[in-house]
Amino acid sequence: MKSFYRALFGLLAIYFASASDAITLEKLLQRTLENNPEIQKAKCDLEGAGGRRLVFRAVALPDVKIGVLGGVEGGQRAGQKPVQVFGFGYGGFTQPFFNMAVPASWRRGDIEILIAQQQLHVAVVEQFIIGTCNGCAPNNGRGCKKMLAARKIVTSRG
């Protein structure tokens, strides 16, 4: 009878342990990082750098121009009506094969992305260090001093 109760207790414990909505450390960190305004700002800056990169890369794309002109021609000519309507269309296509601004423009777009990524990483590390230091005990000064020194190094490089 004891073994039956043990088995029943074990099955119930397994059932309730798996049915609970436990949060993992990874989910907790993800929620924390998503709700942090400094990290959100760094993410927005990264998205803006991605948009500027598209603009810088557009320098190498072909350029097509199409237009139409029209008007009214007035005056008296032999054998023609006094007022005539006229119009014509035009078009053009250019492709920068030897444009020296293309490589520099592409590099600038790539550099802006890299800088924005680095600033995002700095913001995440800084917020992690701040969160870790806020949990330090006042008597445990060595660990917090090391983290604060690391924070100064990280922020001075960013």
Express each pLDDT in 25-81 by its tens digit: 677 677 777 778 888 898 899 999 999 999 998 888 888 999 999 988 877 777 777
Query: At 115, is the pLDDT very low, low, confident or very high (cuts 50, 70, 90)?
Result: very high
Pick 142 or 24 by higher pLDDT.
24
State how far the Cα of 158 lies from the Cα of 150, in Å rounded to an integer. 12
Q: Across all residues in the chain, what is the average pLDDT?
A: 79
Q: Give Cβ neighbours of residue 127 (< 8 Å, ≥ 6 apart).
A: 32, 33, 36, 38, 39
**Do residues 106 and 56 lie in contact, with contact meaning Cβ atoms separated by under 8 Å?**
yes
Longest dimension (CA), the chain: 124
Residue by residue, DSSP assigns 117-138 as HHHHHHHHHHHHHHHHHHTS-T
Predicted pLDDT at 91: 94
Mean pLDDT of 2-13: 78
**SS3 label, residue 93:** strand
| pLDDT of amino acid 46 | 92
Q: 24: which 2 tokens?
A: 């993992």
The pTM for the full model equals: 0.55
pLDDT in the model for residue 153: 62
| Contact (CB, 8 A) for 158 and 118 | yes
Q: Which residue has the higher pLDDT, 111 or 22?
A: 111
What would the mean pLDDT of 99-110 be, rounded to a whole number?
89
**pLDDT tens digits, 10-26:** 777 777 665 456 667 67
Q: Look at residue 136 and give its three-state secondary structure.
A: coil
